[in-house]
Amino acid sequence: MAENKNSELLGLNFQELSELMETLGQPAYRARQLSHALYRERQPSLDLLTTLPLALRRQLSSAGWTLGLPKIQKRFVSTDGTVRYLVEFADAQTVETVWMPEGDGGEEGDGSEPETRTYDRATICVSSQVGCAVDCHFCMTALLGLLRNLSAGEIVGQILAVLNDQLVNLDTQRINLVFMGQGEPFLNFDNFVKAVSLLVEDVGLPESRMTVSTSGIVPRIADFGQLPVRPKLAISLNASNEETRLQLMPITKKWTLEKLMAAAREFPLRNRERLTFEYVLLGGVNDGDQNAREVVQLLRGLRAKVNLISWNPGPEIPYTTPNSARVASFQRILIDAGIPTFIRKPRGRDIFAACGQLKRTTELVSIS
Ligand code: SF4
């Protein structure tokens, strides 16, 4: 293990760090120190792991170990406080990670130190793959195709890099994570599951504040339901019948809406847990009252809530955003049928950070 060249420490769990320390002839407590420095202190380089003796740091370095924290290559700041990060990994591939603060965002300190922003809470939207293979027709990420999976360490690293950039004093118990960035987490299942376990056990973020969204990878929904530690599940529905879903999400060819809804019905919900259905409203395509009534039928008997997202525009995508009266009418039909339904406020639309807009856009393009 110690001979691995160009291996990254970030992504190793406590057990693996313990094995590494043993291989290097180190006492067992070094694994705890290393884990703490990586995941709690979020140290950016081996040189800064000063809780470890210099000789051990040199030993790790000469055996080819690097820390593996990704770099922030660019950041775009929205007028609403949202920040879209372009995060770069060791092979120069990039993904986007979005920081969405909530609360007053006031500053502390006397100005002599880097500013420390304070918020009541914040949500980080996390990517799981570089690009995406799923090809949802309303999503800009789909235009990239799939370039590669992220490792567990890279998934976790995005979050640590963003927390470092935000100089967060925020109690980690008030950070929400949504695995809804670039990629389909259930097509990178093992790395996603390992990342969740690192985030819960080593970084200390609560699983109850994590949600993963899937486009409908049916077999993995069942696997996910069996995990002892897991985020909440959101299903990206976006259509009220097979025909429309097939038109918007070609993945429906492989896993039909019928199979998807069967998997949703069999999903083992925990006490007081609800499934979330995400529904992107596309003007004149899936946003009619009849569509809303079909959604009511689909969700009948399920403990579920619905998030409505007015489509966020992007260049090269030929849809329109419905007007607010249409969205309100759709919502009313679901609420009247007893389904808790929320209209998701777009975050960072002006910087291409909103849902479906993540495409590693390195310049700002004006939205008409
Ligand atoms: S909506 Fe999600 S699953 Fe669909 S193409 Fe975009 S990133 Fe992939």
Structure confidence by residue, pLDDT tens digits, 175-207: 999 999 999 999 999 999 999 999 999 999 999
Q: How far is the CA of 212 from the centre of ligand 1 (A)?
A: 12
Q: Which domain holds residue 46?
A: 7-66
Q: Which residues pair with 305 in a beta bridge?
A: 276
Ligand 1, pocket-test mutation among 141, 211, 255, 357, most atoms within 8 A of CB: 141
**Residues with Cβ within 8 Å of residue 107, at least 6 apart in sequence:** 115, 116, 117, 118
Do 44 and 190 fall into the same domain?
no
Give the per-residue pLDDT at 353. 67
Give the per-residue pLDDT at 355. 64
Q: Which residue is it, tokens 């069999």?
A: 266
The finding on whether 136 has its CB within 6 A of some atom of ligand 1 is yes
The residue-averaged pLDDT of 7-21 equals 96
Give the per-residue pLDDT at 140. 84
Asked if pLDDT for residue 336 goes beyond 50, the answer is yes
Question: What are the tens digits of pLDDT across the range 44-61?
Answer: 999 999 999 999 999 999
The finding on whether 156 has its CB within 6 A of some atom of ligand 1 is no
Neighbour count for residue 258 (Cβ, 10 Å)? 11
The residue-averaged pLDDT of 298-303 equals 96
Give the per-residue pLDDT at 102. 85
Q: Which residue is it, tokens 């990629």?
A: 183
Please answer whether residues 202 and 14 qualify as being in contact, where contact means their C-beta atoms are separated by less than 8 angstroms: yes
Q: Which atom of ligand 1 is nearest to the CA of 142?
A: 5
Asked if pLDDT for residue 363 goes beyond 50, the answer is no
Q: How far apart are the C-alpha atoms of 368 and 82, rounded to whole Å?
A: 20
Give the per-residue pLDDT at 143. 86
Please answer whether residues 254 and 220 qualify as being in contact, where contact means their C-beta atoms are separated by less than 8 angstroms: no
Residue (of 29, 85, 76, 80) closest to 53 by Cα position: 29
Do 99 and 207 fall into the same domain?
yes
Asked if pLDDT for residue 365 goes beyond 60, the answer is no
98 backbone dihedrals φ, ψ, rounded to 5°? -120, 135
Give the per-residue pLDDT at 109. 41
Question: What are the tens digits of pLDDT across the range 215-244?
Answer: 999 999 999 999 999 999 999 999 999 999
Do 104 and 202 fall into the same domain?
yes
Domain endpoint, select from 66, 93, 114: 66
Give the per-residue pLDDT at 165. 92
Asked if pLDDT for residue 72 goes beyond 70, the answer is yes
Do 213 and 340 fall into the same domain?
yes
Question: What are the tens digits of pLDDT across the range 113-162?
Answer: 444 455 678 999 999 999 999 999 998 888 889 999 999 999 999 999 99
Asked if pLDDT for residue 352 goes beyond 80, the answer is no
Q: How far is the CA of 216 from the centre of ligand 1 (A)?
A: 10
Buried b (16+ CB within 10 A) or exposed e, 2-36: beeeebbbbbbbeeebbebbeeeebeeebbebbbe
Do 273 and 287 fall into the same domain?
yes
The finding on whether 141 has its CB within 6 A of some atom of ligand 1 is yes
Do 39 and 90 fall into the same domain?
no
Residue 24 lies in a domain: yes
Residue 359 lies in a domain: no
Structure letter (DSSP) for residue 36: I
Q: Which residues pair with 179 in a beta bridge?
A: 212
Do 13 and 94 fall into the same domain?
no
The finding on whether 142 has its CB within 6 A of some atom of ligand 1 is yes
- Catalytic positions, written as ranges: 96, 355
Number of domains into which the chain is organized: 2
Do 251 and 284 fall into the same domain?
yes
Question: Which tokens go with 109?
Answer: 């300190």
Do 169 and 270 fall into the same domain?
yes
Instruction: Tell me the helix, strand and coil percentages in the chain, rounded to 5.
Output: 35, 20, 45
Residue 368 lies in a domain: no
The residue-averaged pLDDT of 2-14 equals 75
The CATH number of the domain where 318 resides is what? 3.20.20.70
Q: How far is the CA of 180 from the centre of ligand 1 (A)?
A: 8
Work out the mean pLDDT of the chain and round it to a whole number. 89
